[in-house]
Chain A
Amino acid sequence: MTLAELLTPGRLLAGAVTASAISLWLLLPRGRESGTARWLGTLLGIAALAGLACAGRRLGSLGEEGVFLTVSLVAVVSGAATVLTRSPVYSAIWFAMCLLGVAGVLLVLGAQFLGVATIVVYAGAILVMFLFVLMLAQPAGLAPYDRVSNEPFLSAVTAAVLLGLLTLSIGRLSAEPVSAAPVSAAPIAAVSADPLAENHVARLGAELFGRHLVSVEAAGVLLLVALVGAIAVVSRGETAGREGSR
């Protein structure tokens, strides 16, 4: 029995899901630091990523595959580090790295404006706000509640099962007719045939301010309400505190 026969897609996916569950469980903060658990978790995580990468479909050219693999690896690995790092400041910085990867994925998928907007709005504004609050509200050293987690095993299993089900259904979606030509033939033409690629940003703007104009207005009102609400919460909290201390 050769390796290719042994690694049926179903077994590969099951293995990847199991490995990701165990690796998440091992790597989540659980109070005591253990070097072996960390190494084992990292190895299993790499194995899970490799399995999931095999579950993905082959793209047209080697360069395209390499670019997509690179940006998605950046996104996924730093996303995992965001969840698993003990220190919240490092967590936020890993999240910035993850945003860079996500922006790369969006660019590869053909959403140029959204890739740039993700970096500008998320990494430039929202994340800086997070870091401000972290600096305002950071106790000295690593707090005890950063070093333990709620139900690490059940949560890891939940996340891994969800991931497995989603990947399974995506695999089903990509089902081609059973008698189809070899898979490597089709995608080359399909990649360049993105109907949204031509004159992208101008058409996106026309769509946004044409068909979705009312939604844009609603989003503007939402932003204003959030601004006023945030200020109201702060000022009411302050007056309440002052009255309470009297």
Chain B
Amino acid sequence: MMPAVQLATLAVIADGPAIDGLTANGLIVGAILFALGLAGILTRRNLIVMFLCAELMLQGISVSLVAWSRHHGDWGGQMLVIFVLTVAACEAAIALVLVLGAFARTGRLDSQAWQSLREDNLPRVVDHALPSIDTAAAKWPKLTPAGVLPETDEDELLEREHV
């Protein structure tokens, strides 16, 4: 059998609690998800994507909690995950209302639209090299035209004006 590459040999102090393989791997998956969410929430500027990244971090935490719960043979971790789910639902409801309010005021989902709220000693973020043209063109599926063009209702077009 191939010599399994073990992080165990890294250990300076080898007297930590021995955990089984599945628990350790679950903890690593949780760590990866948490790190990805952290990178996302630090970099992305879309408010909703930032929110999704926070949820990604919560997922990483949930995986870690379940792994620890399994390790200890205790229900505490799983209970905590249930309450994490509850709090995530509340948080999503409140935050999406606030995001919609922010969008209604600025017309953008950009977190930098609110940078006037920053501390005095922080520099203003200015987008110098913002590409004006969307270089990544969307690839839509091509549908064959079918039927006749419906008559346009001008009143309806007025209703759609703001979209």
- Size band of the A side of the interface? 35 or more
Q: How far is the CA of A99 from the CA of B37 in the complex (A)?
A: 13
Report yes or no: A83 in contact with B48, Cβ–Cβ below 8 A. Answer: no
Q: Which residues of A contact B83 (CB under 8 A)?
A: 215, 219
Among A56, A151, A167, the residue within 8 A (CB) of B42 is: A151
Report yes or no: A172 in contact with B45, Cβ–Cβ below 8 A. Answer: no
Q: Which residues of B contact A57 (CB under 8 A)?
A: 4, 6, 21, 24-25
- Size band of the B side of the interface? 35 or more
Report yes or no: A144 in contact with B130, Cβ–Cβ below 8 A. Answer: yes
Secondary structure call for the B interface: helix
Report yes or no: A170 in contact with B27, Cβ–Cβ below 8 A. Answer: yes
Q: Does any Cβ of A come within 8 Å of B44's Cβ?
A: yes
Among A12, A99, A141, A222, the residue within 8 A (CB) of B5 is: A12
Interface residues of B (CB under 8 A from A): 1, 3-29, 31-40, 42-46, 48-49, 51-53, 55-56, 59, 62-63, 66-67, 69-70, 73, 75, 78-79, 81-83, 85-94, 96-101, 103-104, 107-112, 125, 127, 129-132, 134-136, 138
Q: What are 15 A-B pairs with beta-carbon distances under 8 A?
A: A24-B39, A59-B22, A83-B39, A88-B48, A102-B62, A133-B96, A137-B48, A142-B138, A148-B130, A150-B125, A155-B42, A159-B42, A207-B79, A208-B82, A237-B104
